[in-house]
Amino acid sequence: MAAAADAPANGKGSPLVMMIVGLLVLTILGGGGGWFLGTMITPKIKTATAVVKAAPQTPTGEKQATAAAEANGIVQLDPITTNLAYPSQNWIRLEIALMFKGPPDQQLAEAIHQDILAYVRTVSLQQIEGPRGFQYLRDDIQERVDLRSEGRVSKVMFRTFVIE
């Protein structure tokens, strides 16, 4: 009976102590790995913050979004709000952004804005009803932009599309 009582004392140790030591080692490894990755990523974050701080302040306070968009060659046009050709009591509001190939051109963007505005005034409600009508509108606007920009605009992005 005495030999059975001495058996656990001669073992490698208590399972509770081994579990605590294992958790402590894993915690130290996890903390060290997090610190290492943090020091690798931090300079990139500081560089991006410096770019945003150097960007000019927009009146609406969208400094970060504007800086990121202009860095990627994206120009957001002013909202287009006008009435439709038929029925004339219905209004349409579009917010469109243009993705340029290369540096953005504000004068070209303004000319495209005016061209889209003139086109939307000629559209009737029946032409843009449903998903197929919206796709036709998108295709027509993309075609007009391609013609006006002579290939300098790669993509037309619709941000909002509202008919009232």
For the record, the structure tokens of 56 come out as 């000019």
Nearest Cα to Cα of residue 82 among 58, 39, 114: 114
- Span 87-113, pLDDT tens digits: 889 999 999 999 998 888 889 999 999
Cα distance between residue 97 and residue 155, in whole Å: 8
- Span 118-128, pLDDT tens digits: 999 999 999 99
Residue type, 31: G
pLDDT at 122: 92
Element (H, E) at 80: strand 80-83
- Span 15-54, pLDDT tens digits: 899 999 999 999 999 998 888 888 877 766 556 566 556 6
* Phi, psi for 156 (deg, rounded to 5): -110, 125
